[in-house]
Amino acid sequence: MAESHSEQHRSRFKVALVEPNNQPAPPWVTQGLEGEGIEFIIHECRTPEELVKIAGDADVVWVFGDNQIVTAENLALLPRCGALIRSGSGTDNVPVEAATKLGIIVANTPEAVSDQVSDHVIGLLFAVVRQVALQDRLVHAGMWNMRAGFPNWHVDGQTLGLVGFGHIARLLVRKLRGFELTVLAHDPFVSAEVMESFGVRPASLEEVLSQSDFVSLHCPLLKSTHHLMSEREFKLMKPRAILINTSRGPIVDEAALLRALTEGWIAAAGLDVFEEEPTPPGNPLLKLDNVVATPHIAGYSDRYLELFWRYSMETAIDLSKGRWPRSYVNRSVQPRWNLK
């Protein structure tokens, strides 16, 4: 049986930020943590020896964005660790499965990026529907030809399909409500009741793909979602359908997407993420006029850093007080601590 939180933590609760991603912590973060009686240390750890020195006695180990040091093998070096915090939404660069087996909670901060990512989905959708990117390139090149970049779609009254129904997808539904869309969603981890409370119809993946005019991907990158969108799935979609991907690049089989876009299985795509990042300049998808591409920037805005810090700090404080974090990805974990 797990020790109670108070029994295990007789000494000062310690949080170690071992991958700050070149981001200095704002003074209010340090003050906020220390004001709650938390020992807080920041040090970029590049070797297992540094990890042991800095975080070997840490209760919470924190990575800000990228992570090269907290690997499945290195978790054995963190005997006191009860939780990992990854600032950001995706946890594909964190050893979730290994952490779960060890009773380590893997917390993240999806709410820090949800608002801006949902805005970006809308931006990509309208950039494709209204042909903004292509028209911009033509006008800058001195060409004034409405037929060359004709907006051959409309949004109001269409069907939007969501693959995944987490924070971002729910915000997207709310923000697009005025367009009177029919919204279908597929997410094996979200109940039909939750979807219906947002005015969304639960559906199978096949139904979402075959019935939607616009398909937006919002699922995490897992073994089960790698190349979730491949030849079979693209052939299920409408020939005039648009794919939007702001989740993770490897969810889409790019070779299959290239065929889908060039052979007319689907009409267009808006992509913020790619299988390889940075995507090579020679990527044939970038040569297509029916692709709008951005450089994995959907989660960024003028306030993204503040939100990353704030939600991560609040997560650390919750854990120090023996509370479950507001967001964590390994729901099956049997934690090392007894939490409220």
In terms of domains, do 323 and 236 share one? no
Q: Which of 177, 232, 277, 323 is catalytic?
A: 277
In terms of domains, do 160 and 68 share one? no
Give catalytic status of residue 277 as yes or no.
yes
Average confidence (pLDDT) over 68-86: 96
Give catalytic status of residue 296 as yes or no.
yes
Q: Which of 120, 167, 248, 336 is catalytic?
A: 248
Cβ(238)–Cβ(214) below 8 Å: no
Domain count, the chain: 2
3-state DSSP assignment of residue 102: coil
For 137, the domain range is 114-293
CB neighbour class for 207 (10 Å; exposed up to 12, middle 13-18, buried from 19): middle
Rounded Cα–Cα distance for residues 335 and 5 (Å): 11
3-state DSSP assignment of residue 240: coil
pLDDT band at 257 (very low <50, low <70, confident <90, very high): very high
In terms of domains, do 135 and 105 share one? no
pLDDT band at 65 (very low <50, low <70, confident <90, very high): confident
In terms of domains, do 105 and 129 share one? no
In terms of domains, do 326 and 226 share one? no
- Residue of 249, 228, 216 lying closest to 121 (CA atoms): 216
- What are the tens digits of pLDDT across the range 85-106? 999 888 989 999 999 999 999 9
In terms of domains, do 259 and 274 share one? yes
In terms of domains, do 168 and 231 share one? yes
In terms of domains, do 125 and 212 share one? yes
Q: Which of 130, 226, 227, 296 is catalytic?
A: 296
Using the predicted structure, report yes or no on whether residue 181 has a pLDDT greater than 90.
yes
Give catalytic status of residue 140 as yes or no.
no
The whole-number pLDDT of residue 160 equals 98
In terms of domains, do 124 and 271 share one? yes
Using the predicted structure, report yes or no on whether residue 334 has a pLDDT greater than 90.
yes
CATH assignment at residue 174: 3.40.50.720
Rounded Cα–Cα distance for residues 304 and 282 (Å): 31
In terms of domains, do 199 and 224 share one? yes
pLDDT band at 146 (very low <50, low <70, confident <90, very high): confident
